[in-house]
A and B are shown apart, each in its own frame.
Chain A
Amino acid sequence: MGLRELFGSRGSRKGRAKAKADDLFDEEFQRKLDYLAMVSRRVFSGTMRAERRTKKTGAGVEFADHREYAAGDDFRYLDWHAYGRLDRLLLRLFEEEEDLSIYFIVDCSASMGFDDGRKLAYAKRLCAALAYVGLANLDRVSIVTAHSELAARMEPTRNKRRIFRIFEFLRGVEADGETDIEAVMRSFVARHKRRGLAVVISDLYDPAGYERGVNVLRYNKFEPFVLHVTDPRDAEPNARGDIMLYDCETGEEREVTVTRTVLARYAEAYERYLKSVERFCTRRQLSYFRADVDQPFEELILRVFRRGGFLR
């Protein structure tokens, strides 16, 4: 059942009116969401179910691992076969099945709105698309926006019918403020006790560094999923001669004479920065995708599906 069919006449009338008013989530975009949802089921059919198993051990039925027995453990889970062979008391662990919570943490700092807000618009589309796929897989989807602190939050929801609420929420997001990923993540983990997949959609332009913020998620048992939104124009600034550079977030000023050499070195530095982000995530086995705003977002979504990690 498609998105338009799903919501019938109500969705078609209001949805069309809103789509006309907002190019970001127009009818073309909604058709693509239908397509992505269908493709996601076909690609992961057989292995994908409407449920997701967490690594949490406990009351599940599928064996997960052994560990040494400790005083107070339930005797019922002792592996007597192992005791017979190895003469050691080992406790059998099972995976516990529960609904997956997907949190989208959308960076809405001023840098995301830089240059006509291309990155923020792209981030919104990514978020909406992935949220729709998540809703279609009966996952619990929640969205928060953040800059130097949490800006807005959409309560966890499930069911595809809620996608328009997500649209509404994302439409209201505007770029403003400085970036402080660590503070945001600390605030986020404090407020969300239910662990799950934390999809960070950001350009990661944090003067204090993005690493600590991502680690906060890791240390608090969230699964960080980094969608790094990049704009090729950031690598090729339109600056020549003696200029006054100022940071669009902090307002920090810097007088500089920009020559070709300087521009080349900047481009190198920018590339190094992107690689460092990717290296950071890879080394920590975090899911990382570079989302280039010039790339069609559906291609990126399909790449995400093929790599796995987002849906299981």
Chain B
Amino acid sequence: MQLAGYSAAVLLRAGGLLAAFVVVMYILRLRRRPVSVPFAPLWRRVLRDKESTSLIARLKRWLSLLLQLAIVTALLFALGDPRADVRHEAARHIVVLVDASGSMKAVDVPKGPAAERATKTRLGAAKLQLGRWVGGLGGDDRMLIAQVDAAITPLSTMTEEKVELDEAIERLQASDVRADFDRAFAFALDALRGRTRPEVVVLSDGAIGRVAVDAARLAAVKLSYAKVGSRGRNVAVTSLSVRRYPLDKSRYEVLVEVSNTHDRDEVVKLELYGDGQLTDIVNLRIRAGENLSRFYPNLSGAARMLEARVRLRSGEADDLPSDDRAYALLPERRRARVQLVSRGNMYLDAALLLDEYLEVSKVRPDEYPLQGSFDVTIFDSVDLPRTSETGHVLYLNPPSGEHAPFEVGKTIKSDRRYTIGFDEVKTKHPIVRHLMLADVNVAKARALKGNKRSRAIGKSFRGTLLLAGRDAGRKYVALGFDVRDSDLPLRIAWPLFIVNVIDDFLDEDTRYVSSLRTGEVWKLPVAGKGALATLELPSGAEKVLPVDQGRAVYLGQTAGVYGLSMGAGEPIQRFAANMASPEESAILPVDSLELGGKVAAAVEGFGGSSKRRWWFLALLAVLGVVALEWLSYHRRVTV
């Protein structure tokens, strides 16, 4: 005979507790109701014969106790679901991988019982389903519940304790990320190593992408799949980025990508908000499966935050509201102080006039340095020492390297055979981004020679012409010729070069990322020193992050606007995060799952739940009756 219900260990524990409880109740002295009589000797005469039967009466109570213990034993035995004809099978070990990716926030669970509809989201329906499985878990079967999002998070141990499993179900939470099922399966297979009757159950909508799994190990494990969700009508903002124009940073341009992951065309309304104010609204027709980009050039007005919203023009809600919005933050603008040390250079003056956010202070070499601190100092054809207030330095045509962190070589000149120019350019460096320097002609120049902490950005065959490096914690850039000895000032590249250099000095370059992607590990640069930073989540909650090499590290899993600071009173650095995943926005549930050449079977083996629930109710009923009997008879409440 085997117990298909609760295990013998659980039943023995429960039986011990219940038996102890019943015995203690019986050990309690019988509380008799006091009754006054006028003449007790009359009773004495009557009870003279009764005395001889008191032992029998006591035995009757013992019989009652034994009866109750027998009832308890029988009920516990029944809870064990004994089956005489069941072949002995080892305990199942089940790892349930619950998809907690962004698509599990879809609200397409209209079918099924009312309780399932009340949960609204796919994850809610998954929790209900998982709760039923836990309730129907076999006697010795054990289960481990793991949440799969950007990471794999085991929420319980491999246990048969339903309380622990129910608590794990309660902790399940969906996030705005793609689920990493590669690691999830690796974890599940590791957890099932050496276990009897191993089984992996995937509870998901099936949008798990291509999964790299060890087919050999998976073959030894039973793979089951339970689909959650029914529809896939969804439009999403799958990309939003913004950047300021390099030459006019009060203006910016925005790129929005809208996707329709449904299998039919949709007409959507795309709205763009700047700092909460509606900036643009447009109706778009998107074909099934199409990704549609929309470019908004030359925008102005918003100071900080942009938000793109997409909705169906019909007014209906799609099945996944969480990807209908995306956020982006514009880079912060601040007025930079520039000290120009020059004997006069009209081309340079003109280039600096282009950026209205520059506060330029000119000074002749013999009056250098000016009072105050500067973000950038430009030495134009002068060689002067730097001070603590100099800031980053741009050397233009340095006459000598006496006060510079590099060496200045001999003068080189163009001749008939060779015109000096930029024969080699590190085009990925930010100071030469968007520049065409290859056809610049230079009459004469000085070759520059840097050190280990510098990098040659532009070279001619006769020597380095453009150098960038870092010295004493400050950046510097050196151009080895006077621009008036070249045709560079006649090109658009010249003012862009000046703007690029200053932006690079101020970290305001065009590499700025207007929003991060959820599901990735963010390494967020922090201003200031300290080992810990405080991250304000979109929900308003705060989290303390460790800071490593000037960067706070965090696995972002929720879309929205975050704030990062080094503590109370410190400036808060804002940034936005979006799911921005067309794969995760494709929420049409998959009917079957195939992994490593193995097709997942339907979930089975949790059928005992309803039976055991009835037994549980029966147990409660019997306990109630026993308690009533005890109160009524033993404690004489009603008699």
**Are A and B genuine complex partners?**
yes
- Partner-contacting stretch, out of B27-35, B144-152, B330-338: B27-35
Contact with A along B37-65 (1 / 0, CB 8 A): 11111111111011000100100000000
A111 near B39 (CB under 8 angstroms)? yes
A244 contacts chain B at the CB level, 8 A cutoff: yes
Contact of B32 among A237, A243, A247 (CB under 8 A): A243
A223 contacts chain B at the CB level, 8 A cutoff: no
Q: Which of A204-246 contact B (CB under 8 A)?
A: 205, 207, 231, 234, 237-246
- Give the residue name and chain of the A residue nearest to B40 (CB): A247
B387 contacts chain A at the CB level, 8 A cutoff: no
B32 near A254 (CB under 8 angstroms)? no
A205 partner residues in chain B, CB cutoff 8 A: 38-39
A245 near B38 (CB under 8 angstroms)? no
Please judge, given known A-B contacts A241-B636, A257-B57, whether A246 and B46 are in contact too, CB under 8 Å.
Answer: no
B42 near A244 (CB under 8 angstroms)? no
B388 contacts chain A at the CB level, 8 A cutoff: no
Contact of B39 among A240, A241, A242, A247 (CB under 8 A): A247
Please judge, given known A-B contacts A244-B33, A266-B43, whether A203 and B636 are in contact too, CB under 8 Å.
Answer: no
A250 partner residues in chain B, CB cutoff 8 A: 40
B38 near A248 (CB under 8 angstroms)? yes
A269 near B45 (CB under 8 angstroms)? yes
Contact of B36 among A241, A242, A246 (CB under 8 A): A246
A243 partner residues in chain B, CB cutoff 8 A: 32-35, 636
A256 contacts chain B at the CB level, 8 A cutoff: yes
Please judge, given known A-B contacts A257-B57, A262-B50, whether A244 and B34 are in contact too, CB under 8 Å.
Answer: yes
- Give the residue name and chain of the B residue nearest to A238 (CB): B35
A114 contacts chain B at the CB level, 8 A cutoff: yes
B216 partner residues in chain A, CB cutoff 8 A: none
A245 near B50 (CB under 8 angstroms)? no
Min distance, Cβ B64 to any Cβ of chain A, angstroms: 12
A245 near B46 (CB under 8 angstroms)? no
B639 contacts chain A at the CB level, 8 A cutoff: yes
B47 partner residues in chain A, CB cutoff 8 A: 254, 256, 262
Q: Which of B1-42 contact A (CB under 8 A)?
A: 30, 32-42
B37 near A269 (CB under 8 angstroms)? no
A237 partner residues in chain B, CB cutoff 8 A: 35, 37
B45 partner residues in chain A, CB cutoff 8 A: 269
B35 partner residues in chain A, CB cutoff 8 A: 237-239, 243-246
B40 near A246 (CB under 8 angstroms)? yes
- Give the residue name and chain of the A residue nearest to B639 (CB): A241
Task: Report the Cα distance A126→B50, complex, angstroms.
Answer: 38
Query: What would 17 more interface pairs be, CB under 8 Å, given A243-B636, A252-B40?
Result: A238-B35, A239-B35, A240-B639, A242-B30, A242-B33, A242-B636, A243-B33, A244-B34, A245-B40, A246-B40, A247-B36, A248-B37, A250-B40, A254-B43, A255-B32, A262-B50, A266-B42
A-B contact pairs, 26 of them (CB 8 A): A111-B39, A114-B38, A115-B38, A207-B39, A207-B40, A234-B38, A237-B37, A239-B35, A242-B32, A242-B33, A243-B32, A244-B32, A244-B33, A244-B35, A245-B37, A245-B40, A246-B34, A246-B37, A247-B36, A247-B37, A255-B32, A256-B47, A262-B46, A266-B46, A269-B42, A269-B45
